[in-house]
Amino acid sequence: MSLKTDNRAFGARTADGIGDAFMRGAVGSAQDSLKTRRLTAATALGDWEAWRELGQQIRQHTLANLDYYLEQMADNVERRGGHVFFARTKEEASGYILGVVKSKQARKIVKSKSMVTEEIEMNRVLLEAGCEVIESDLGEYILQEDDWDPPSHIVAPALHKNREQIRDVFAAKLNYEGDETPEHLARFARTVLREKFLEAEIGITGCNFAVANLGAINLVTNEGNGDLTAALPPTHIAVMGMERIVPTLEEMEVLDNLLCRSAVGQKLTSYITVMGPREEGDTDGPEEFHLVIVDNGRSDILASEFHEALQCIRCGACLNVCPVYRHIGGHAYGSIYPGPIGAVITPLLGGYDDYKELPYASSLCGACTDVCPVKIPLHQQLVLHRQNIVSQGRTGSVDRIQMKAVGKVLSSPALFAGTLRLANPMSTLLSKHGRIVRGPAPLSGWIGSRDLPQPVKKRDGFRDWYPHREGGGHS
């Protein structure tokens, strides 16, 4: 899977989402439950705003000194006997990983959930080379067995599937004979995947945070698959976006607290692990450790007005409060990064050519900004995107003509007054009971889902009423 998960136009993708009643129900109830859990967990800390400011300050300090901390990390990993590869592009990243796999003559690979490995299309590269790649996160494993169905949520990738669909996938692909109880499905996956962990030659994980002064990576999980992936195979490859780094365990601790509470409302997830290359005398852990640090467009973001987006710790809280995500679902974004943060970073990573609609998939209500544990001004960044898209002339010709006309009318008092006068008679044919009920775009788009009152007659308008009201018209 690449950044892009769907080649169809934005309209077709959103229509699919809006038409999928099950998905919308599932997303709605997931949002409600995650929102409540996050709020409870955040409130329990007392001064949550101070925590957010602390998180923001830690992220901003680290990003402002990113070259320093990355070098410190790399030095420490190498000092401990690990290997570090800096990848400018996704091709360099997946190419290096393939190189390691080939040098080990490995075919059996087990991995845990990682968004950045999706971004660099690692699975495709490894599968094409004839390797078996097993996603061991339960949600991701379900998607993989369903012919690599794309994820729809950063934290709960298989949110769009119900238990019956999952049972059917397991029955068709893995000869599962049990029922659709989640516990039975999970135990079945445990049994199948346990074998895969034990026989894997290479384990590949993401990295929640690199801890620079230790030369270790931090994984935050609940299922235990990340730890088995990293501990059992003789070779461990960790892949990280270059911005995912903290100075020490102390800052990691603060961010892990923010992450767990914001993502799933847990104080800490079941497994928080800090792991580095094995030390002399260790009895398990990988014999060989590789860390792949990925730029793939991030340095451009760092240099841009969108640099705060790199503060993201991938908790998904912004997805859980977004009214647009609620209705169109994760797949409609056409990106492995959905929701508000996806609408900000996908156009930065994948370009406006493919993703210029995403910044418009927002009501700009700002709920995402309010909930972000590291204070990324998400909705303001969406407005910035829109400004860029307009100033680069990327809006459609109909849009441009309309905006030109609106501009003309609004800049001339005479034209404006005339338009107000004509608005009522001209809309009579389109209206019924004081509401406009038909019309061309953009009217049709609006009235498809909302009321649009017919403009009032001139004598009922504010400008005619105000000077004649009781008490006179002095303003």
Partner 1 sequence: MNAQPSNRSAFLDRVADSLGRPRRTDGVQRPAWKHNVHLEQLADRTPEQLVEILKEQCFFIHTQVIESTPDLLQRTLDDLIAGYGGGPVIRSGDPRFMRYGLSFLGDSVWSAQAGRAENIRLAEAANIALVFADYALAESGTVVLESRPDQGRALHFLPSHYIAVIEWERIVPRSTQAMAEMNRRHEAGGSLGSCINLISGPSNSADIEMQLVVGVHGPLRATYVLI
Task: Report DSSP letters for 344-399, one per residue.
Answer: HHHHHHH-HHHHTTGGGS-----HHHHH-TT---HHHHHHHHHHHHHHTT-S-HHH
Check binding of 190 to partner 1 (CB under 8 A). yes
Q: Which residue of 147, 177, 284, 470 would you call a contact of partner 1, by CB under 8 A? A: 284
Beta strands at 216-221 and 271-275: parallel, antiparallel or unpaired: antiparallel
* Residue-level length of the chain: 475
Check binding of 231 to partner 1 (CB under 8 A). yes
Shortest gap between Cβ of 384 and partner 1 (angstroms)? 18
Shortest gap between Cβ of 167 and partner 1 (angstroms)? 10
Using the minimum distance from each CB to partner 1, give the nearer residue, 232 or 341: 232
Check binding of 227 to partner 1 (CB under 8 A). yes
3-state SS of the chain: helix, strand, coil percent to 5? 55, 10, 35
Q: Which stretch binds partner 1 (CB under 8 A): 48-56, 367-375, 410-418, 423-431?
A: 48-56
Q: Which residue of 288, 334, 346, 355 would you call a contact of partner 1, by CB under 8 A? A: 288
338 phi and psi, to 5 degrees?
Answer: -95, -175
Identify the bridge partners of residue 4 per DSSP, sorted by sequence position: 335
SS3 assignment, position 286: coil
* Whether 35 contacts 321, CB under 8 Å: yes
Check binding of 183 to partner 1 (CB under 8 A). yes
Using the minimum distance from each CB to partner 1, give the nearer residue, 83 or 124: 83
Under DSSP, the state recorded for 331 is: G
* Whether 364 contacts 397, CB under 8 Å: no
Using the minimum distance from each CB to partner 1, give the nearer residue, 153 or 379: 153
Check binding of 106 to partner 1 (CB under 8 A). no
* Whether 309 contacts 345, CB under 8 Å: yes
Check binding of 33 to partner 1 (CB under 8 A). yes
Using the minimum distance from each CB to partner 1, give the nearer residue, 57 or 395: 57
Amino acid at 328: I
Beta strands at 288-294 and 83-87: parallel, antiparallel or unpaired: parallel
Q: Which stretch binds partner 1 (CB under 8 A): 217-225, 335-343, 376-384, 390-398?
A: 217-225
Q: Which stretch binds partner 1 (CB under 8 A): 262-270, 356-364, 368-376, 380-388?
A: 262-270
Whole-number Å distance between alpha carbons of 132 and 122? 12
425 phi and psi, to 5 degrees?
Answer: -60, -35
Q: Which stretch binds partner 1 (CB under 8 A): 228-236, 316-324, 332-340, 362-370?
A: 228-236
Check binding of 194 to partner 1 (CB under 8 A). yes
Q: Which residue of 118, 145, 149, 251 would you call a contact of partner 1, by CB under 8 A? A: 251
Q: Which residue of 23, 122, 131, 185 would you call a contact of partner 1, by CB under 8 A? A: 185
Shortest gap between Cβ of 191 and partner 1 (angstroms)? 10
Shortest gap between Cβ of 40 and partner 1 (angstroms)? 11
Check binding of 135 to partner 1 (CB under 8 A). no
Whole-number Å distance between alpha carbons of 42 and 373? 10
